[in-house]
Each structure stands twice: as C-alpha cells, then as structure tokens.
Amino acid sequence: MEFLTLLYAVSALYLCFLVWRFFDQRRDQECYILDYQLYKPTNDRMLGTEFCGKIIKRTQNLGLNEYKFLLKAIVSSGIGEQTYAPRNIFEGREANPTMLDGITEMEEFFNDSIAKLLDRSAISPSEIDVLVVNISMLATIPSLSSRIINHFKLRNDVKVYNLTGMGCSASLISLDIIKNIFMSQRNKYALLVTSESLSPNWYSGNDRSMILANCLFRSGGCAILLTNKRSLKHKAKLRLKCLVRTHHGAREESYNCCVQKEDDQGRLGFYLGKNLPKAATRAFVDNLRVLSPKILPTRELIRYLVMSLIKKVKQSSAPKSSSGGGGSSTTKSPLNFKTGVDHFCLHTGGKAVIDGIGMSLDLCEYDLEPARMTLHRFGNTSASSLWYVLGYMEAKKRLRKGDRMLMISFGAGFKCNSCMWEVMNDLEDPNVWDDIIDDYPPETLTNPFLEKYSWLNDVEDPNTYELPDFLK
C-alpha cells in the first residue's frame, strides 16, 4: 500500500513538473519589443511643393497630359510637403543614380537610427544575437547586413538574415523570422532593421502606371530591438500575441499587380497595376479569415455565426426576385473588430489604401488618424511605415498598458501580413514626432500642389502655356 502511495505521489509530482516545464518554456518563447528608433532625415532632404514641381519639370519624356496626371495623383495621395527624398534627387541626378547613392542613403539611416537605439537601450552591439535586415530594392556585395556588422562590430556568431524583394510588408516578415528563432532559443536579443532604398529606383519614363511610384514613396526607416528574455518583460513596450501571413503569389492577377520592370523604352521602374485594389482586397479578406479567431472574443465569433445562420435561413425562405440588380454590394466586414482591438496601425500605402481598410473594418476617423497623419508627414516609407504610425500613437499618448494593437501591411507578391500586439507599459515616447506632434492633426490636409498647379487643368494646347517663374 505504501509503495502504491509513493508511486502515485511520484507520478503526480512528475506530472506537475511536466506542466510547469511546459508553461516555463512558453514564457521564454515570447517576443517583446524593448525599443525602436525611427529615422528622420535632415531638413535639406525635405520635399517642398516648389521643389517637387521642379523635379517633375526637369524629368524628360513628360508632356502636358503627364503633368495633369501627376497633379491629380499628388493632390489625391494624402501626402504633404514635409516628406523626405534621397540626396541624389536634390543634386539633380535621379535619372542617373550610382550604386554609391543607394549605399550612402542606407548607411545614413543605419548609422543614425541603430546608434540612437542601442545608446538609449544601453545595449552593446556585441550583445546582439540576431540581425534581420529588409531592404527590398537594393542588393549589394557585401550585403547591407554585413555593412551593419562591420560598422557596429557585431559578434562573429551573430545570426544574420538579409531580405530583398519583400515589398512594403517586409518588416512583419522579418518579425516572423525573429519570432520563430525566439521559440527555439532562449535569452536572445534581436535587431530588426527595415527601410527602402529610393536612390537607384527613380523612374524617368512616361508610363503612368510607373510614374505613380515616384509620387508615393519617400525616405524613412526604423531600427527595432527585440528580446525573449523574461527578466526584461517589465521594460518591454510591446508583446507579440500572434502574426498571420497571407501570400497570393500563385494567383496571376495578384502576382503581376506590383512588379519592378522595364517599360517599352527600357526604362526601369516600379509598375502599379489597375487591379492592385482588387488583389489587395482578396489578400486582406483571406488574412482576416485566419486572423479573426485568434484576436476576437468568443462572444463576437458566436454573434457572427448566429447572424450568418439567420441570414442564410432568411435567404433560403425568401422568394427569389425576378428583377435584376437593385442591391448594393459592400466590402464591410460582418465582424466587429473593435471588440478585440483597441488601436489600428495601418500601412500608409496611400489615401485609397487607408480609406479601403477603414471601410472594410468599419473604423472611425479616430482609428484612421495615425495612418493619415503619418502619410501626410512622412509619406509611404514602404516597410517602415507601420512603425511611424506606431510612433504617432505613442507620441499622442494613446497606448496604455493592456491595450491591444493590430498592425496590417500589404506588399508586392501579392502579400497581406498582420499581427497583434499587447501594450506592456504606458507608452509616451514621441520619437521623431517630438517637435511636430502638437501640430497634428492640422486644420486641413489639402495639398499645396492644388493651389500652385491647378492652372494646368485649364491648359488645352501644350504649345501655348507658359511656366511660372519658380519653375523656369
């Protein structure tokens, strides 16, 4: 009898040990953001309205029709006149870039943002265990990640991942790599570096679908310090709850809607197809289908199932109408995402992208404000744009301990990636918004281009119009 009692006791203790070890390991697999540093280029790289006009004017192969198209595109883009561009554009060499232009642009960002991040976090470069760099449109030898290792003297056993061609959703792909590493290795620091190189990628032709990229993309970047160290949980800003990646590269329509290619005259550029909104919607819907059960409360999912069942019963019992048309379609999600999400951090791909996500998720202007203001102030900075939106929320002191924040990004391929964060502490660091946050939101987001260049719409004969003095 005593032997059986001892056996039961040992078995119970062993079971308790297994349960404890399971939860203990899971706690070491968390992914925390300790800090992040956004990049603000110097003021001599700021794109004012008049200077943008001069860039357009000096671009060869453009005529009156292209000027009118660009005016409409810029005015409706949601981008203001305080965004930034590479130095070779200010030197008038955008049509003839060099490899050094792209490298210098990236090194200015690396050396500034990573140094500030490590200094503020009191982390030595030698403590970094994982480095992930994503720059989609610039590949060099040695790689950009190697340049970072060389400049900051990282350890010789640092695990390095250098991503190219991943588009605007690359930072969440990089995050997924780090998350998976953290699940198998304990007590690690990871540095995620995300940006885009614009210097070598100016399009000098007149294909409207490729000119558009010149209007939308701007210089920027972000360096992010992450860890899975349980001892640093109290210092963390955010904790990753879940991450969902959707890739529609197998669909020909989706695959071809965002492509870097040459036009009919052999000029390299970035093509944005008319079917892009449709491809984005499909990827977004599929992504939400997987994401929703992970982030929404059970009551909301039950409500959705009940309402869907009632709707199907009504449709099956209602007589079929012989009249055509009549009903209006909507892309609004039947789920109420605000039941599981407190803040929405949206990719600043353009005004239409923000409006589309807002309509789909039934978001109010308060929810869309961070994305709209980021687009206006910094433009579309590709993969780093999400983190400027996060910076705006933090500068506005919106993020409180326990809040849940949803990030949504899109990228060529075509991809839609999303993730949910839990706010670990009250966040109030203004980052690069420190000297301008009180000016946002401005009274109006009307682009000055409309006032300065609206006269173009009245010109009918391309041989009779006269340029204003500031463009001559």
Which of 31, 52, 168, 258 is flagged as catalytic? 168
Question: Is 88 designated active site?
Answer: no
Nearest to 130 by CA among 227, 2, 261: 227
CA angle, corner 389, sides to 115 and 362, nearest 5? 160
CA 376 → CA 126, 380, 387, 447, distances in Å?
38, 9, 15, 9
DSSP 237-267: SEEEEEEEEEE-TTSHHHHTSEEEEE-TTS-
Distance CA 1, CA 7 (A): 10
Catalytic residue among 248, 343, 417, 447: 343
Q: How many CA atoms lie within 13 A of 108 on its CB side?
A: 19
Active-site residue 463, yes or no? no
Across-strand partners of 163?
Answer: 134
Catalytic residue among 52, 228, 287, 347: 347
Q: Is 343 a catalytic residue?
A: yes
Q: Which two tokens stand for residue 9?
A: 């006791």
Cis peptide leading into residue 125 (ω within 30°) = no
Catalytic residue of the set 31, 206, 376, 417? 376
C-alpha angle 26-30-34 in degrees, rounded to nearest 5:
155
Q: Give CA torsion, residues 456, 457, 460, 462, to 10 deg.
A: 30
Which residue is catalytic, options 247, 258, 417, 431? 247
**110-116 CB contacts, 8 Å cutoff, 24+ apart:** 110/144, 110/147, 110/148, 110/151, 110/193, 110/223, 111/151, 112/39, 113/37, 113/38, 113/39, 113/193, 113/221, 113/222, 113/223, 114/37, 114/148, 114/152, 114/191, 114/193, 114/223, 115/152, 116/37, 116/223
End-to-end CA distance of the chain: 102
Catalytic residue among 214, 380, 417, 447: 380
Specify whether 234 is catalytic.
no
**Dist. CA 120–CA 62, nearest whole Å:** 47
H helical segments located in 203-342 = 208-216, 252-255, 276-295, 298-317
Active site residues: 168, 247, 343, 347, 376, 380
